[in-house]
């Protein structure tokens, strides 16, 4: 099987490192996502959506265990929690879109570190 994944952009915020307990504070802060120029046209009409799903790469995560202890102290399987220590190292967060300026999205709700590579952006579409 051939797997090809492009980094379409990068996260920018004040979080160069974070502990698990920082996740909520990270989500409350403002981040920008700078989409690479060659993909800027893919943002056409993205402002129609108030929420976006951001897929990103846990580029600073090392190793994983199939069971882990969550922030609440509960033991769960890695696929039953949001730990960055995962076999695939792919993160997913739903963010609120605050604005668009060219190839830069301003968002809240993102729990990715500064300079984290972004893999994809998808609008949240209500099924109601």
Average pLDDT per consecutive 10 residues, the chain (128 residues; last block may be shorter): 92 88 87 98 97 96 88 89 87 97 97 96 88
Q: Residue 128's pLDDT is what?
A: 66
Q: Which fold has domain 10-56+89-123?
A: Elongation Factor Tu (Ef-tu); domain 3 (2.40.30)
* DSSP per-residue codes, the chain: --------EEEESS-SS--GGGHHHHHHSEEEEEE-GGGGGGGTTGGG-SEEEEEEE-TT-----SEEE-TTS-EEEGGGS--S--SS-EEEEEEEEEEEETTEEEEES----TTPEEEEEEE-----
pTM for this model (two decimals): 0.90
Q: Residue 73's pLDDT is what?
A: 87
Percent of the chain having pLDDT more than 70?
98
pLDDT in tens, 21-46: 788 888 899 999 999 999 999 999 99
d(CA 69, CA 48): 38
């Amino acid at each position: 099987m051939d797997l090809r994944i492009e980094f379409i952009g990068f996260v920018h915020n004040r979080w160069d490192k974070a502990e698990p307990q920082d996740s909520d504070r990270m989500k409350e802060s403002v981040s920008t996502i700078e989409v690479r120029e060659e993909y800027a046209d893919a943002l056409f009409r993205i402002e129609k959506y108030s929420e976006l799903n951001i897929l990103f790469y846990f580029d600073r995560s090392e190793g994983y265990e199939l069971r882990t202890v969550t922030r609440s102290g509960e033991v769960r399987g890695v696929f039953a929690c949001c730990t960055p220590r995962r076999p695939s190292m792919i993160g997913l967060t739903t963010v609120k879109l605050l604005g668009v300026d060219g190839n830069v999205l301003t968002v809240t709700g993102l729990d990715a570190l500064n300079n984290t590579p972004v893999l994809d952006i998808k609008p949240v579409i209500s099924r109601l």
